[in-house]
Amino acid sequence: MNVEEAIRTRRSIGKVKDEPVPRELLERMLEAAVWAPNHHQTEPWKFVVMTGEGRKTLGRAYAEIASGHSPNLSEQERAELHKREEAKANRAPVVIAVVCSPSEAPRVSRAEEFAAANSAVQNLLLSAHASGLGAVWRSGDPMYHPAMKSAFGLQPQEELVGLVYVGYPDLQPPEGKRIPAASKTIWIEA
């Protein structure tokens, strides 16, 4: 698959089979991720790969965050909430937490560090697709919660930029459509 085909045919695949993904494919994806462009060659990314029981780290963080938003629940309601929230970590056999670990060098822009980490996620997604895997980039308020940072042992300056759920697709990817680039492009020429 060439790069243009990968870009045009990649879709977010949120429904995957509960089958293990070979470590070699995951390592290939991670290797593709680290080749993302980054200003000043800072390589501001880290990855936490969770499989099997390792996904409980994420599940516990989801449950802790949800409990904090619902302090007046009965014991039974709290147990049910925890079970639902913990199950989110098991939506795929592999979850990769992508972390931006920005350089503190004075000439380095924090915004550029996050742009580079987001580019690494795109490379990760394209590599998964080219390998026949399905993946979806998830974020949302829980990802930015201090409990999530604590669960992954992040430093104060570090932030999660995505939770990438990976597995073998269990759905037919939807047809893609985009507004043509020509309608969103302004040319400034001499």
Residue 104 maps to which CATH number?
A: 3.40.109.10
Report the pLDDT value the prediction gives residue 70, as an integer from 0 to 100.
79
Task: Report, as an integer, the average pLDDT of 23-37.
Answer: 98
Domain-embedded: residue 121: yes
Task: Report, as an integer, the average pLDDT of 14-34.
Answer: 97
Closest by alpha carbon to 131, among 169, 91, 178? 169
Tens of pLDDT, residues 120-142: 999 999 999 999 999 999 999 99
Report the pLDDT value the prediction gives residue 118, as an integer from 0 to 100.
98
What percentage of the chain has pLDDT greater than the value 70? 100
Report the pLDDT value the prediction gives residue 89, as an integer from 0 to 100.
96
Handedness of CA 141, 144, 150, 152 (dihedral sign): positive
Token digits for 111? 């915004």
Report the pLDDT value the prediction gives residue 92, as an integer from 0 to 100.
98
Domain that holds residue 152: 15-53+89-170
Lowest mean pLDDT: which of 35-39, 78-82, 123-127, 181-185?
Answer: 78-82
Binding residues for FMN: 10-12, 39, 137-139
Tens of pLDDT, residues 42-87: 999 999 999 999 999 999 999 999 988 778 888 898 899 999 999 9
Domain-embedded: residue 103: yes
Domain-embedded: residue 96: yes
Domain-embedded: residue 44: yes
Domain-embedded: residue 137: yes
Domain-embedded: residue 78: no
Cα-flanking dihedrals φ and ψ of residue 120, to 5°?
-65, -40
Give the 3-state secondary structure of residue 165. strand
CB-CB contact of 81 with 142 (8 Å): no
Report the pLDDT value the prediction gives residue 74, as an integer from 0 to 100.
87
Tell me how far apart the alpha carbons of residues 113 and 167 are, in angstroms, rounded to a whole number.
28
Q: What is the pTM of this model?
A: 0.94
Within 10 angstroms of residue 8's Cβ, the number of other Cβ atoms is 9
Tens of pLDDT, residues 80-116: 999 999 999 999 999 999 999 999 999 999 999 999 9
Q: Give the length of the chain.
A: 190
Report the pLDDT value the prediction gives residue 190, as an integer from 0 to 100.
87
CB-CB contact of 39 with 108 (8 Å): yes
CB-CB contact of 122 with 36 (8 Å): yes
Kindly tell me the burial class for residue 161, based on how many C-beta atoms sit within 10 Å of its own C-beta (0-12, 13-18, 19 or more).
Answer: buried
Domain-embedded: residue 62: no
Domain-embedded: residue 69: no
Binding residues: 10-12, 39, 137-139
Closest by alpha carbon to 18, among 82, 102, 90? 90
Tell me how far apart the alpha carbons of residues 26 and 49 are, in angstroms, rounded to a whole number.
9
Count of domains in the chain?
1
| C-alpha separations of 82 from 66, 86, 93, 136 in Å | 8, 6, 20, 23
